[in-house]
Structure 1
């Protein structure tokens, strides 16, 4: 009888060059000019390196240093153009807020699904007003998509919920879109990271648990927690 090994098989690592080629192919379909910009970045950096080498009398050594930097410049252009193209495709689509939130670095909690919605027609997400929620050191951030008057009503309801379970925690609201006074999806990360911090990491953890207890995300409330009487005791949040 043949013996079977109990050792887990290790997943094969994808060739980094194949991965870059796959990313490049995907981005090129969205942004046909990406190749031109990558070549331009490569040539400019390589030209600067060559010029420095000529001035210093060490062209070969300068090229050996410049080539990796030129490749890095091309990769940065690929990444930036790809990100810009992806956000351009999100414009006008419901759920664009998630694309912006996914660009946030560590230190933020956010929900993949809307925490509130107001649809005039069943299953018509494009005509609906929706609100996504994120939590970071600046407090709670509500991102709304859809008609302003309907989004504002959802903002008011969600702000009351937050104030009820976590009084004193700042609530920031933004309408995501491309119109006047609206926040483009590509600027969500920059805008949110510029907000003034007001919570510690320990406070964020407690607030996140309280937000998760709200109806609509998870049914019921954790034992021992009464959201109607919960208060933001900053000393208890930090731990005594």
Structure 2
């Protein structure tokens, strides 16, 4: 008698898993559509670029199929449609990402948010040092070594960055330390180009060395103090209110 019950329970579990996957897929499609609608409202060139890329790729595929002739015509049309849809989707993703970075640029916590969304084997520790004005230094461990990324007012953040670099150098030995200031000034890295800049740094250490380095640097802790970094970009007005609350508490 136990076997039918087990079979029924397994069927119910599979049905529940299918329903959960279906709901998750539906939610992703809904989020993607909302993102597309928002991007289309702000970006007048989005649809022309997407449609233009789709039509161009399909047209080239059809012409290639006609030139070859035979069965190639049947194969090239669906291939062109798939490739055209893929390129159009890539264009949408790139332009949406550019819009997100443009809106986040200059806001407190924007660099920390960008670092925590890095793709690849990066170990990010946000806010290892900070001021009461949300100027901050974030630590990234990767194949290049240790990268200290600063955001905020250059006048306040550069001394903070230099202090954190000295603290880090005591523990890392010969491991390279890079320092970056996020911004649009001379010698600074714009927020939208931060990930690309990190990926272009040379690989100097192995993944095993990264693990050992992460354990060693955990002993440094954080000097952010009362000025905890926000969980994402904060508009200037909200930033000012946060600072005022911090001052009142003190």
> 1:171 aligned to 173, 177, 180, which one?
177
State the 1:95 CA deviation.
Answer: 1.7
Matched, 1:197 2:203: yes
- 136, 156, 161: which one aligns with 1:130: 136
Q: TM-score, normalization: structure 2?
A: 0.73
Distance 2:117 2:221 in 1: 27
- Higher normalized contact order (CA 8 Å, seq sep 6+, divided by chain length): 2
Equivalent residue of 2:179, what SS?
strand
Residue aligning to 2:54: 42
| Superimposed CA distance per residue, residues 149-193 of structure 1 (whole angstroms, 9 cap, x where no aligned partner) | 211111111111111222222111111012332211221111112
- CA distance 1:62–1:18, shift in 2 (3 Å): farther
Instruction: Look up the match of 2:128.
Output: 115
Contact 1:176-1:182 within 8 A present in 2 as well: yes
- Displacement of 1:73 in angstroms is 1.1
CA RMSD, 1 decimal: 2.7
- Structure 2's unaligned 5+ residue stretches are 224-250
Q: Which consecutive residues of structure 1, in runs of 5 or more, have no partner in the other structure? A: 120-126, 218-240
SS in 1 for 2:192: helix
Distance 1:16 1:36, change over 3 A: farther
CA contact (8 A) 2:146 2:175 kept: yes
Aligned match of 1:158: 164
Higher helix share: 2
- The total of aligned residue pairs comes to 207
Provide the secondary structure at the position in 1 that maps to 2:136.
strand
The question of whether the paired residues in 2 share the 8 Å contact of 1:99 and 1:185 is answered with no
What's 2:34 paired with? 25
- Note if contact 2:109-2:134 (Cα within 8 Å) is conserved in structure 1: no
Aligned to 1:55: 67
Does the aligned pair in 1 maintain the 2:127–2:222 contact within 8 Å? Answer: no
Cα contact 1:87–1:99 (8 A) shared by 2: no
Conserved 8 A contact 1:91-1:185: yes
In the superposition, relative to structure 1, how do residues 192 and 89 fare at CA in structure 2: closer, same or farther (>3 Å)? same
CA distance in 2, matches of 1:201, 1:75: 33
Greater mean alpha carbon deviation, residues 157-166 or residues 26-35: 26-35
The TM-score normalised by the length of structure 1 is: 0.76
Tell whether the 8 Å contact from 1:137 to 1:201 is kept in structure 2 after alignment: yes
Q: What is the alpha-carbon distance in structure 2 between the residues aligned to residue 81 and residue 44 of structure 1?
A: 19
**Per-residue deviation at 1:21?**
4.8
2:92 aligned with 1:71: no
